[in-house]
Amino acid sequence: MTPLWALFLALVAVTHAETPGCKIRVTSKALELVKQEGLKFLEQELETITIPDLRGSEGPFSYNISEVKVAKLQLVQSELYFQPTRDLILYISNASISLRFRRQLLYWFLYDGGYVDASAEGVSIHTALQLARDPGGRIKVSNVSCGASVSKMQAAFGGTFKKVYDFLSTFIISGMRFLLNQQICPVLHHAGLVLLNSLLGTVPVRSTVDQYVGIDYSLLSDPVTSASNLDMNFRGAFFPLVEANTSFPNRAVEPQLQEEERMVYVAFSEFFFDSAMDSYFRAGVFRLELVGDKVPKDLDMVLRATFFGSIILLSPAVIDAPLKLELQVLAPPRCTIKPSGTTISVTASLVIALAPPDQPQVQLSSMTMDARLSAKMALRGKALQAQMDLRRFRIYSNQSALESLALIPLQAPLKTLLQIAVMPLLNERTKRGVQIPLPEGIDFVKEVVTNQAGFLTIGADLHFTKGLREVIEKNRPSGDLEPTSSPPQPVAPAS
């Protein structure tokens, strides 16, 4: 391949790279919390280690070591850190494992048996979890490399045959140490590739928000790690459920994350919110009809007085008919994010008519409404919420400038209508929020929202609402068993 052709392919790839609507950064400050919870889980997993029976003979003596159980685990020193470009490293040093096993000794016709306590000291474990994007757009652990070593092991033999056991202990202890070395990494492989992936499987990728729209949080590329953080780019796009394959072009500014002071940062571009409003628009949600008693009495009186000249010319059967207001958004609203705040621009039509029973409605007027809403974003748990407030509002006629002047008296009462009838409905929906892609059992706390030019960021800390064991057991793959065979030859731990 010529250099020119390679350059061309690289430019094409960059041109077609999809811009993320949502980014998440996990900083090294979160790793201490994750490590504390992770070590609890790891201790429980390592306690399930099963060591095969150890049999042998030396001269006239035959021995059998069986029923080896891990009694206690002490992970004294540990580090959890990011390693460029896709790894999460866990290094445990100077750990100890207390064991208890059954001993059996046969010397000619003499037999001895009982239980013995043993300990493995100076246990070191070096594990690297490689993170990747799977074909479905979900984050997963794609590979686990592991190295484990036990520097020394000792057992407290006693009884009548203590001197014999002391003689045989070199063979027994060396064998048990070898077997223990071989069993640690299979447990960690299983914990990473099966159990941890079952936890990551709880991160929503493509899910429904309500009966109208869904959201797509597919990862666009493999996660990237630096020495201080883990960055993930998500599609961050809503879609209408009636047109689930709909995709919207993302021409918004790409969010940028520079901060590292909090445990986690989430950034949303204007596209994230635009796709939400476009989806609801296509789903036909942005429509409202008020008829009869649903129209506030004060507004009813003002409207009848305003259009009295038109009403008086109608037949008596129509004059006293209930008023009907039809409000419909004409185009998908648009979001603008600036350092000063977030605004939503909406253009809608309002049709005012009389609706006599069992007769066609009689239109009195049709007008266009331009509104600007302010939006205050907040993060509660895992839900991104918005509180809307009507800031600017104007109406004008579709017919003539003269009629637009005649509508000026309706400006204030119609704005009041929006504030008391429309905004509460809108805020009720946005208050439900939309879930952020986090695993089950983890929530955000101490959130701070910051507006940037074209996107907003939310800095927060993490809080475990459930233990890892609880979540993993709930989502453990059916038929999953503990590892019984060794993976590829373990790698020696880094010094």
> pLDDT tens, 436-472?
999 999 999 999 999 999 999 999 999 999 888 889 8
Q: Would you give the DSSP letter of residue 339?
A: T
pLDDT (0 to 100) of residue 490: 36
Confidence label for 417 from pLDDT (cuts 50, 70 and 90)? confident
Residue 256, exposed/middle/buried by CB under 10 A (0-12, 13-18, 19+)?
Answer: middle
Tell me the per-residue pLDDT of 330-388, one tens digit each, with 9 for 90 and over. Answer: 999 999 999 999 999 999 999 988 888 888 888 888 889 999 999 999 988 889 999 99
pLDDT exceeding 70 applies to what percent of the chain?
91
Domain boundaries, the chain: 28-203, 206-464
| Mean of pLDDT over the chain | 85
3-state DSSP of 274-310: HHHHHHHHHCCCCEEEEEHHHCCHHHHHHHHHHCHHH
Alpha-carbon distance 493 to 413, whole Å? 74
Q: Is the pLDDT of residue 212 over 70?
A: yes
The per-residue pLDDT for 403 is 72
Q: What is the pLDDT of residue 491?
A: 36
**28-203 and 206-464 in the same fold:** no
Determine the length of the chain. Answer: 495
Listed ranges 3-17, 25-39, 404-418; the one with the highest mean pLDDT: 25-39
Say if residues 105 and 161 touch (Cβ distance below 8 Å).
yes
Q: Which of 320-324, 409-413, 420-424 bottoms out in mean pLDDT, i.e. has the lowest?
A: 409-413
Homologous superfamily of 206-464: Bactericidal permeability-increasing protein; domain 2 (3.15.20.10)
Question: Domain 28-203: which CATH class?
Answer: alpha beta
Unique residue bearing structure tokens 């064998």? 175
pLDDT at 492: 35
What pTM was computed for the model?
A: 0.85
